[in-house]
Chains A and B, each alone.
Chain A
Amino acid sequence: MTKILAIAKREFRSYFNSPIAYIAITVFLVITGVLFFVQGKFFEQNEASLRVLFQWVPVLFLAYIPAISMRLLSEEKRSGTIELLVTMPVTDWQIIWGKYLAGLAFLAVSLVMTLHFPLIVIANGSPDIGPIIGGYVGLFLIGALYLAVGLMSSTWTRNQINAFIISLMICGFFYFVGDFLAGPPPQGRSRLLYLLLVNFKAVFEYTSFKYHFHNIERGVIDTRNLVYFGTVVAFCLVVSAQSLAARKWRG
């Protein structure tokens, strides 16, 4: 455990040694601010709501989380420090957990920095606290989910941009696939994709990130959602650890 924490601590600190973290967090706060005040019609309706935030942050996360996770392993691969790390007495699992924890910590910090929105809402009325907490837990879980995908992508390449694009595509697919299949078959190029995927509609509906997030957004978290999140995260971490160990298979 001390080793996991040592890795996590180093990784978390190195976020703040690079400008990317500051840029990402600034952009994130600006966009959430716009969503809350403008899109949420805060000034016109004279009424504050977090609905817009809970609805759009998961979409924003599609780009934000891959930006956080892209460097986790690809940077070690690019700079060669991976050799230093894996020849120290740590297991591949300790490395993966250390990296994942660092990402989670950064995610948590990002969410904490948006807490002024619920505070404004509370100051302006007497909303139900339950859905607010539920919404935040939901955001954290969906962030944690993307992060696991992002970490996995990061183990596949030594190029951060590739890691970013791969995780963006995977997360985007699983986010939108449910809506895509729920509607009628579209015209044009995506029609073929629709017809192909619609055969597995039930599977994709169930694996869609949005499907599971919708429950949580309403402040409802049931065991099925938790099992789903747990399963996907575990799957991604197992693949990450295996991918890290892949250097041992070759030859």
Chain B
Amino acid sequence: MIKVDNLVKYYDTFQALKNVSFTVNKGEILGFLGPNGAGKTTCMKILTGYMPPTSGSASINGMDIRDDSLTVRQILGYLPESTPLYTDMMVGEFLAYVAAIREIPDGDVKARITEVAKTCDLKAFINKSIGQLSKGQRQRVGLAQAMIHRPQYLVLDEPTSGLDPNQIIEIRELIRELGKDRTIILSTHNLPEVRATCNKMLIIHEGKIVLHGSPEELEEQHRQAPRVIVKIASGNGELKKTDVRKKLDQSTAFTRVVEKDDEGNGVFSFEIEGQKGEGDLRRVMFQYVVAQNWVLLEMRQQEMNIENIFRQLTK
């Protein structure tokens, strides 16, 4: 279990973390979300022992990250932001170096390198110089070094940045697989990624946690009045946008009407909000348009997904 209690971090006078507290249980994958400069990386740097918090505490597996720093670092795997690596080394040589510092017995080193090379798909360039690798390949080397000692805890700062879509899917699968019996914290800008890999998420904004829960829970909590985007055209004869607007405003079924950009040729776009708990807004909308003798060219339901929650909370 990772337990973070009231972390505060100041860089000179700038407060990067404001009383951040959360816990991550075994088997959980926590997705750390937030705009750039929100404090994600700071929090990870503190957890991995790179720098201490100004105040507050954190423990991993019951051990304080400052008092038992060395032990904590033994059971932790860390992929720092932007994956710093020794560019003058070969991939295999680098992994052997990490294995030596991690005190993996000499006899096991080869097998471990083969193991992580397989999980991170490094075989093709294991004898290449790290300086010659692409960003995605480097990222995989970074992940491999974080896993070589089979840590129970993984802290990954933007693990999928720089990967191509196929690799992203592979790495997500890998993280999900690893997460079954481990504890993982990962940060990302990629919102669908949180849904795809994480079972807990945490949104941090200006150093404060603004949201914490499972993605499904959060979407449920933030469910709001239903909303649709529609494109309406005239059934026959002339039709003006202002008239459509007036009609829509008069209807009690719709609580809010927002005009959107039109595509021209007498096709008008609106975003329409219905009443909460009044059944499916799409059904109401369709019947209304028919009753007005208009034509409905397009209708799209707006869902309150993680993207919207994120934008709302971090604006």
Instruction: List A residues at the B interface (Cβ < 8 Å).
Output: 2-3, 6-7, 9-10, 14, 17-18, 79-84, 86-91, 247-248, 250-251
Contact = CB atoms under 8 A, between A and B. Distances in A.
A6 B88 contact: no
Interface string B53-69: 11000000000000000
Given A2-B100, A88-B102, A248-B51, A10 B86 contact: yes
Q: Interface residues of B toward A: which range?
A: 20 to 34
A10 B97 contact: yes
A89 B102 contact: yes
Nearest to B94: A10
Nearest to A80: B84
Given A84-B145, A88-B73, A250-B11, A79 B87 contact: yes
Given A14-B89, A81-B86, A251-B11, A6 B51 contact: no
Interface string B7-24: 001111000000000000
A251 B51 contact: yes
11 contacts: A6-B97, A6-B101, A14-B86, A14-B88, A17-B88, A17-B89, A89-B71, A89-B74, A90-B101, A251-B9, A251-B53
- Most chain A CB neighbours (cut-off 10 Å) among B11, B49, B54, B86: B86
B73 A87 contact: yes
B89 A10 contact: yes
B82 interface: yes
Nearest to B79: A84
A185 B2 CA distance: 67
A106 to B, nearest CB: 15
Interface string B174-218: 000000000000000000000000000000000000000000000
Contact of B50 (A2, A3, A7, A86): A86
Q: What's the dominant secondary structure at chain B's contact region?
A: loop
Contacts of B102: 88-89
Contacts of A2: 100, 103
Given A81-B86, A83-B50, A89 B73 contact: yes
Contacts of B74: 89
B80 A87 contact: yes
Contact of B84 (A10, A83, A251): A83
Contact of A251 (B48, B49, B52): B52
B225 interface: no
A18 B88 contact: yes
Given A80-B80, A89-B74, 6 more contacts: A3-B103, A14-B88, A83-B50, A88-B101, A251-B9, A251-B12
